[in-house]
Amino acid sequence: MKLHEFQSKEILSRFGLRAPKGGVAITPEQARDIASDLGASRLFVKAQVHAGGRGEAGGVKAAASPVEAEQAARALLGLRLITEQSGTAGCFVKRVLIEECADVTRAIHLSLRVEPSVGGIVLTGSTQGGSGIEQRAAAGEATIERLFLGAGDGVPLAETGAFASRLGFHGDQNTALTLLIKGLLGAFVELDASLIEINPLALTADGTLLALDAKLSIDDNALHRQPSLAALREEDELELSAQQRQLNYIRMDGNIGLAANGAGLGLATLDMVCAARGRPANFMDIRTTATSLDIAHGFGLILDNPNVRALLINVHGGGMQPCDTVADGLGIAMRRTGRSLPTIVRLAGNNAAFARQRFENFGCRIVDCPDMWTAAQRAVAAAAA
């Protein structure tokens, strides 16, 4: 679960993170009033969306007065901001953050994230903050330092101090950064985070460390332990409705609807469609706890998308989720929506043969494929027909 910048800064302030003074507005008039209260001659008005690359997309605007802050907010609020991370649909701007401009002497990149490849939390940092750090590092224009923190308990201050030194922080500055890292690590563990990113983290002329931007993501599987954070959840209505029905659904901009039971199988299916030069319209993972009615809701989301021209179902029936449950879900959805599509299926495992019979009983005309690659190619061809 992603949190907005203003939420991330507010929550992480309890763990020692400092940020420029500011406030959140949902109307241009509120933005003007906040800017007036701040009394600063240099301000930034920043769109609050769950996507990076806002600056390059015009989602961050400078202002030198309350009137200019109002104008900037008016230009951003209600805008569908398209960034390098938002996809072509963009993100709808409901709020803007008005902040003072900091007197920056240098800026770095700092992040903590769970990395499955090493089985723990990894701290990364770079002497060069700002957007595109990964691309700049790949091009040899920036160096990224790494420190493995394990489960986040019992990390010696000497190690984080040495990490801060490699980022060019010495003396009192080293102590300040080391203590901040300790606080952010505590936040990471306590909040069940999957990502904390401060980019850029600025050092001001008076030696203060300020977060000019902050990202905080919480592990969805731990939200039952974080009710106050779960209450902040703000997602696409379609995706949220799917979550409530035991489905993981993400809409995309292609024309082939996808359904699979299992995240790994779903990702593999998506990759195969792309490898066959197709364009997925969605990702949909059917959880083992989903009923046929839950699955029907998911197929309804796919069938309601007018861009979808073909449907690919890749199911491996297990003990808790037999193939026929998925077949029943599609049959119910087609009767509800009144829409049918060329349907390519690959079925294996529990009740695969019975599922083929259920498709026939519902009047679903399917193209039955023996393997995933054949199914992906047939779906691409059907969508192009």
The CATH number corresponding to 237-384 among 2.60.120.10, 3.40.50.1000, 3.40.50.261, 3.40.50.300 equals 3.40.50.261
Please give the pLDDT value at position 283. 95
pLDDT of residue 243: 81
Q: Which residues of the chain have pLDDT under 50?
A: none
Superfamily of domain 21-101: ATP-grasp fold, A domain (3.30.1490.20)
pTM of the model: 0.70
CATH code of 1-19+103-234, in short, is 3.30.470.20
Q: In this predicted structure, what is the pLDDT of residue 141? A: 74
Tell me how far the alpha carbon of residue 69 is from its chain's centroid: 28
91: Cβ contacts below 8 Å, ≥ 6 apart: 47, 49, 50, 51, 80, 81, 82, 83
Q: Are 330 and 313 in contact (CB under 8 A)?
A: yes
Q: What pLDDT, on a 0 to 100 scale, did the predictor assign at position 233?
A: 78
Domain ranges of the chain: 1-19+103-234, 21-101, 237-384
pLDDT at 114 (0 to 100)? 93
Give the per-residue pLDDT at 312.
98
What does the pLDDT read at residue 90?
A: 81
Sequence-ordered list of residues with C-beta below 8 angstroms from that of 327, at least 6 positions apart, any chain:
355, 356, 358, 359, 362, 364
Q: Tell me what pLDDT residue 242 has.
A: 84
In the numeric block, the tokens 């192009």 are attached to 384
Query: What are the beta bridge partners of residue 204?
Result: 104
